[in-house]
């Protein structure tokens, strides 16, 4: 296993007020940093006091966007244990994203060992209040100090952590969604299935536009036919139509979410028919008009599930399930959060405890 040097801070910060954590604003005492070069491979793995990074102004990441990341959470149970949810899935996806962007991969056992060691050092930063967690942000980027366009020779892998508040402080409120008809998030053959910063930069404009018009998120359509539903904001999306659960199939432009995968597994286990298939905006409209669209929700690590209460399609507002959270959406929320916070039995073996 990879050797990690640990240098603890001499000035631990004061822990924040748990009633006002927000998302990603507060950072813990330490960070993990590891360097890569083509000659040496990964080297100098260390946990050090949280500090600014120093990079060459020509570093690849600044010019050509060679950056990928992950997002997952550490949860505190009522027995005061700290645990992760399917972390190996995140480490595997990190490597798949790295391959797509020609960044170096990390042997998955090492990647998991690094993550667990880092969380175990920062364990006390996992907040205690209902719905709160310690958000973990691993990221990896190219740092070659020259401007030639090329695959990178040097890279850095960093993990930072941030105690975050409950996503649903004011209860689970269904959101209003706008169909995005101009911008696309990703195209087949592009980087849509990689978790890379560039995808976010490209999708910000549509998000801002939706927000200005009073919507919470945009519904992304495929980039070629502008017809098939792909994702909602930075979440995967699911529908319940006439008893069938439908989610867009992973065609290459959709991010393979771990929450998506977990929802599918839980739903099939509960006896639902779940189909990963193409689902067009016309089919969505038809289901709404016929009254067969029973539920719609987004899913991702941050929110777990986010019920959709209204869709705006071509300026017309359609209400879903009376604008309220549906039965299946609620059941998924209860099951996944139950496992994550250790309130219900983890019969799927998804939990990874931190010593």
Ligand X SMILES: *Cc1c(COP(=O)(O)O)cnc(C)c1O
Number of residues counted as binding ligand X (CB under 6 A): 13
From 255, 267, 293, 328, residue interacting with ligand X (rule: CB under 6 A): 255
248 SS3 class? strand
Residue 87, interface with ligand X (CB under 6 A)? no
Q: Are 139 and 198 in contact (CB under 8 A)?
A: no
What separation in angstroms does the CA of 338 have from each of 58, 90, 281?
46, 20, 33
Q: Which range of residues in 15-23, 34-42, 122-130, 252-260 is near ligand X by CB under 6 A?
A: 252-260
Residue 235, interface with ligand X (CB under 6 A)? yes
Q: Which range of residues in 3-11, 149-157, 255-263, 286-294 is near ligand X by CB under 6 A?
A: 255-263
Strands 82-85 and 72-76: antiparallel
Residue 164, interface with ligand X (CB under 6 A)? no
Other C-beta atoms within 10 Å of 54: how many? 5
* Tokens representing residue 129 in the block: 């209040």
* Tokens representing residue 131 in the block: 């719905």
State in angstroms the smallest separation of the CB of 219 from ligand X. Answer: 13
State in angstroms the smallest separation of the CB of 260 from ligand X. Answer: 6
Q: 159 - beta bridge partners?
A: 32, 138
Place of tokens 């060459």: 56
Residue 231, interface with ligand X (CB under 6 A)? yes
State in angstroms the smallest separation of the CB of 300 from ligand X. Answer: 4
Site string for ligand X, 296-315 (x = CB under 6 A): ----xx--------------
What is the C-alpha to C-alpha distance for residues 28 and 42, in angstroms, rounded to an integer?
24
Residue 258, interface with ligand X (CB under 6 A)? yes
Taking Cα atoms as reference points, which of 259, 258, 236, 265 lies closest to residue 249?
A: 236
Question: Is the dihedral angle over the CA atoms 303, 236, 277, 318 positive or is it negative?
Answer: positive
Site string for ligand X, 191-210 (x = CB under 6 A): ----x---------------
Place of tokens 């995967």: 236
State in angstroms the smallest separation of the CB of 192 from ligand X. Answer: 8
Residue 339, interface with ligand X (CB under 6 A)? no
Residue 30, interface with ligand X (CB under 6 A)? no
Q: Which range of residues in 7-15, 19-27, 107-115, 257-265 is near ligand X by CB under 6 A?
A: 257-265
What is the C-alpha to C-alpha distance for residues 237 and 309, in angstroms, rounded to an integer?
13
Task: Name the DSSP class of 263.
Answer: H
State in angstroms the smallest separation of the CB of 32 from ligand X. Answer: 20
- HSE (side-chain half, CA atoms, 13 Å) at 134: 31
Q: Which range of residues in 73-81, 211-219, 227-235, 344-352 is near ligand X by CB under 6 A?
A: 227-235
From 134, 178, 234, 296, residue interacting with ligand X (rule: CB under 6 A): 234
Q: Which range of residues in 54-62, 162-170, 258-266, 335-343 is near ligand X by CB under 6 A?
A: 258-266
Q: Are 208 and 183 in contact (CB under 8 A)?
A: no
Residue 263, interface with ligand X (CB under 6 A)? no
Q: 276 - beta bridge partners?
A: 247
Q: Which is nearer to ligand X, 49 or 198 (CB)?
A: 198
Residues that bind ligand X (CB under 6 A): 71, 195, 231, 234-236, 255, 257-260, 300-301
């Amino acid at each position: 296993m990879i050797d990690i040097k640990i240098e603890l801070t001499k000035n631990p910060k004061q822990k924040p007020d748990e009633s006002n954590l927000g998302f990603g604003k507060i950072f813990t005492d330490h960070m993990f940093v590891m360097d890569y070069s083509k000659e040496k491979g990964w080297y100098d793995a260390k946990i050090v006091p949280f500090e600014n990074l120093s990079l060459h102004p020509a570093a690849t990441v600044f010019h050509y966007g060679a950056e990928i990341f992950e997002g997952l959470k550490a949860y505190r149970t009522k027995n005061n244990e700290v645990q992760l949810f399917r972390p190996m899935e995140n480490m595997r996806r990190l490597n798949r994203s790295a391959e797509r962007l020609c960044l170096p991969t990390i042997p998955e056992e090492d990647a998991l060992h690094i993550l667990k060691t880092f969380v175990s050092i920062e364990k006390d930063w996992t907040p205690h209040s209902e719905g709160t967690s310690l958000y973990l942000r691993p990221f990896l980027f190219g740092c070659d100090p020259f401007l030639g366009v090329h695959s990178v020779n040097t890279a850095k892998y960093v993990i930072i952590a941030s105690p975050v508040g409950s996503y649903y402080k004011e209860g689970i409120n269904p959101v209003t969604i706008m169909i995005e008809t101009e911008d696309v998030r990703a195209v087949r053959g592009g980087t849509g299935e990689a978790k890379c910063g560039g995808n976010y930069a490209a999708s910000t404009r549509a998000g801002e536009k939706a927000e200005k018009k009073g919507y919470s998120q945009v519904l992304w359509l495929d980039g070629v036919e502008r017809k098939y539903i792909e994702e909602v904001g930075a979440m995967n999306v699911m529908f319940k139509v006439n008893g069938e659960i439908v989610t867009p199939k992973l065609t290459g432009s959709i991010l393979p979410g771990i929450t998506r995968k977990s929802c599918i597994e839980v739903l099939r286990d509960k006896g639902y028919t779940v189909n990963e298939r193409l689902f067009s905006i016309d089919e969505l409209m038809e289901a709404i008009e016929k009254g067969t669209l029973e539920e719609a929700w987004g899913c991702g690590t941050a929110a777990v599930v986010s019920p959709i209460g209204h869709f705006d399609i071509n300026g017309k507002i359609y209400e879903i399930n009376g604008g309220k959270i549906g039965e299946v959406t609620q059941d998924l929320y209860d099951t996944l959060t139950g496992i994550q916070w250790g309130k219900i039995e983890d019969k799927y073996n998804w939990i990874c405890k931190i010593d």
